[in-house]
């Protein structure tokens, strides 16, 4: 697999419209991300119709910008890689249609890419580092997923477990809403937690012994109970708590509980499956406390993407595109979006 490639990646699965040009799966030539966060913030979460309309408005400009910043035209691109799922159906379709149109017009191959698989490949985009060596233990923690995987080779996964209820990022977003901290919840909780004590509350850590699964809904309920104990008449999740509630302590104690479960379980799995290295990716991997805990507690190397590549971007889509292009994948121009596409089917 030594053939040189230059892949155009397109990503519209949730609330970022993104396009990128990546060489050889590792070298980011350009990466453009148009965030919709300000559009969704008033709703306290991603509003699907608003998301798809915003993708339609920005997709052409974002793709043009990625190509022009890379100083290339489609003539010097080898394939177009686009997120096919999982994600919001109405949003996925916008990126897919754009990619299909470009593929049809240029004759370039179209590659439908799994967004979760792409989060793992964000690690390969740190070009200065040597490539990780298999077998690898992968943790993907995003707004919609918490997945633990064993990666035995490129594009080859065994799913060990995942969340049974809320994803890690979803738990951050929901608890941020309970505490009146706004959207997206992860960064807001992280900032607030800096001012609080992580040992102020002993929140539950669902270990789910004997499985590699996670559960965060009990933790979310425990935070809700604390809010209600202090302000029983508050419409929690709708109204922000009034002064008097020690929000920073709640945020710090909640964050510590999420971090403990994610780090301990991932490192235990790495041990059990004798992984050479651990890869942590997805929006929640931007979390400072999580990154520090992995660095402190891990015995074998743990890699996490640089902050800009933790959250959604198209460079990671183009990176998977490289490996899949070399592996011979060529998709038909009528492929559908797959809003609930598990990574284990890769």
The tokens for 85 are: 């799922």
How many residues contact ligand KG4, by CB under 6 A? 19
Q: How many CB atoms lie within 10 A of CB 328?
A: 7
The secondary structure of 282-314 as a DSSP string is SGGGG-HHHHHHHHHH-SS-EE---HHHHS--S
Of the ranges 35-43, 49-57, 180-188, 197-205, which one interacts with ligand KG4 (CB under 6 A)? Answer: 180-188
Token pair of 219 as six digits: 């933790």
For 100, the token pair is 């299909």
**Contact with ligand KG4 (CB under 6 A) among 132, 180, 185, 321:** 185
CB of 190 to ligand KG4, least distance (A): 4
How many beta carbons lie within 10 A of that of residue 20, not counting itself?
31
The span from the CA of 283 to the CA of 314, in Å, is: 14
| Spatial separation of the C-alpha atoms in residues 74 and 178, rounded to whole Å | 47
Measured between alpha carbons, how far is residue 251 from residues 173, 183, 240, 245 in Å?
Answer: 11, 14, 14, 11
Structure tokens given for 299: 């015995």
Instruction: Kindly state whether residue 14 participates in binding ligand KG4, applying the rule CB under 6 A.
Output: yes
**DSSP codes of every residue in 115-134:** HHHHHHHGGGG-TTSPPP-S
Q: How big is the site for Zn ion, counted in residues (CB under 5 A)?
A: 2
Instruction: Label residue 107 left, alpha or beta by phi (over 0 means left) and psi (-120 to 50 means alpha).
Output: left
The contact pattern for ligand KG4, residues 56-85, with x = CB under 6 A and - = no contact, is ------------------------------
Closer residue to ligand KG4 (CB): 25 or 283: 283
Instruction: Tell me how far, at minimum, the Cβ of 19 lies from Zn ion, in Å.
Output: 15
Query: And the tokens for 253?
Result: 């104690």
Which listed residue (117, 166, 312, 331) binds Zn ion by CB under 5 A? 312
| Residue among 67 and 93 whose Cβ is closer to ligand KG4 | 93
Q: Contact, 66 vs 10, CB < 8 A?
A: no
CA distance linking residue 169 with residue 278, whole number of Å? 19
x/- track of binding to Zn ion for residues 127-166 (CB under 5 A): ---------------x------------------------
CB of 74 to ligand KG4, least distance (A): 27
Q: Which C-beta is closer to ligand KG4: that of 38 or that of 232?
A: 38
Closest contact distance (angstroms) between CB of 107 and ligand KG4 is 31
| Minimal distance, residue 298 CB to ligand KG4, in Å | 19
Choose the one of ligand KG4, Zn ion, none that binds residue 147, judging by a C-beta under 5 to 8 angstroms depending on kind: none
CB 134 within 8 A of CB 321: no
Near ligand KG4 by CB under 6 A: residue from 109, 169, 180, 196: 169
Least distance between Zn ion and beta carbon 227 (Å): 29
| Interacting partner of 190 out of Zn ion, ligand KG4, none (Cβ under 5 to 8 A depending on kind) | ligand KG4
Note whether 114 and 320 are within 8 A (CB): yes
Q: Can you give the binding site for ligand KG4, defined by CB under 6 A?
A: 14, 142-144, 169, 172-173, 184-187, 190, 282-284, 286-287, 311-312
Q: Can you give the binding site for Zn ion, defined by CB under 5 A?
A: 142, 312
């Amino acid at each position: 697999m030594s053939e040189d490639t230059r892949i155009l990646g397109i990503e519209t699965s949730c609330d970022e419209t993104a396009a990128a040009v990546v060489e050889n799966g590792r070298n980011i030539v350009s990466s453009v991300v148009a965030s919709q966060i300000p559009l969704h913030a008033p709703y306290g979460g991603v509003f699907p119709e608003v998301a798809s309309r915003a993708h339609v408005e920005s997709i052409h400009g974002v793709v043009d910008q990625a190509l022009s910043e890379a100083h290339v035209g489609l003539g010097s691109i080898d394939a177009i890689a686009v997120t096919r799922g999982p994600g919001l159906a109405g949003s996925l379709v916008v990126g897919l249609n754009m990619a299909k149109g470009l593929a049809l017009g240029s004759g370039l191959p179209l590659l439908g890419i799994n967004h979760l698989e792409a989060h793992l490949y964000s690690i390969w985009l740190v070009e200065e580092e040597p490539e990780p060596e298999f077998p690898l233990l992968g943790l993907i923690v995003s707004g919609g997923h918490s997945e633990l995987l064993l990666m035995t080779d490129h594009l080859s996964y065994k799913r060990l477990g995942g969340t049974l209820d809320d994803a890690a990022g979803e738990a951050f977003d929901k608890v941020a809403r309970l505490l009146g901290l706004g959207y997206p919840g992860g960064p807001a909780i992280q900032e607030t937690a800096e001012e609080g004590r992580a040992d102020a509350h002993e929140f539950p850590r669902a270990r789910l012994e004997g499985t590699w699964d996670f559960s965060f809904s009990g933790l979310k309920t425990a935070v809700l109970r604390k809010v209600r104990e202090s302000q029983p008449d508050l419409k929690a999740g709708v109204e922000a708590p009034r002064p008097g509630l020690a929000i920073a302590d709640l945020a710090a104690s909640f964050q510590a509980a999420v971090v403990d479960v994610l780090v301990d379980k991932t490192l235990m799995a790495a041990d059990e499956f004798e992984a050479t290295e651990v890869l942590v990716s997805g929006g929640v991997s931007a979390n400072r406390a999580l990154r520090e805990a992995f660095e402190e507690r891990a015995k074998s190397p743990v890699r996490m993407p640089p902050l800009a590549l933790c959250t959604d971007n198209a460079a990671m889509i183009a990176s998977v595109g490289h490996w899949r292009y070399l592996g011979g994948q060529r998709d038909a121009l009528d492929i559908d979006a797959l809003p609930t596409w598990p990574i284990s089917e890769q």
